[in-house]
Amino acid sequence: MLDSRELYQQIILDHNRNPRNFRAIPAPSGHAEGNNPLCGDAVSIDVTLSDHVITDVAFQGAGCAISRASASLMTETIKGKTRQEALDLFDGFRDLVTGAAEMSDPGPLAVFASLRDFPARVKCATLAWHTLRAAIEGTTETITTE
């Protein structure tokens, strides 16, 4: 039997090796780039919005396993959500990884809960979310976690 921490580790490694929605969207409604200089993670997010609903989201970039897995799981989690639901999930996710509060119904994002013991990696996990928010809100500056 795997304990949950080992299982979570395997899910993260799987998303790192086979990231979901790893592509560009032609003519997206929103696009943003993000950097985490602390670790060297870089991500770009494309999003398609239709009536405030995220109908498609994709990412590209290079970085550590945590940053790639987080971006991959994020795209799977937010597709079909409204813009506001996605921003609320970001708030919950940030609470989850920092340990500030429990996230209600984290779903697959629970795999990142153990990061609260590794504060230096929190920026790796939140980079894609910060960048998503910029893509949704139409920010054109490159996002940095620093």
Q: Which residues bind Zn ion (CB under 5 A)?
A: 39, 41, 64, 67, 124
Tokens of 51: 């009536």
d(CA 10, CA 59): 21
Task: Closer to Zn ion by CB, 24 or 62: give it.
Answer: 62
Task: Closer to Zn ion by CB, 67 or 72: give it.
Answer: 67
For the CB of residue 70, give the shortest distance to Zn ion in the complex, in Å: 9
For the CB of residue 103, give the shortest distance to Zn ion in the complex, in Å: 21
Closest to 112 measured CA to CA, from 142, 92, 132, 85? 92
For the CB of residue 124, give the shortest distance to Zn ion in the complex, in Å: 3
d(CA 47, CA 31): 6
Task: Closer to Zn ion by CB, 31 or 68: give it.
Answer: 68
Please list, in sequence order, all residues whose beta carbon lies within 8 angstroms of the beta carbon of residue 118, skipping any fewer than 6 positions away: none
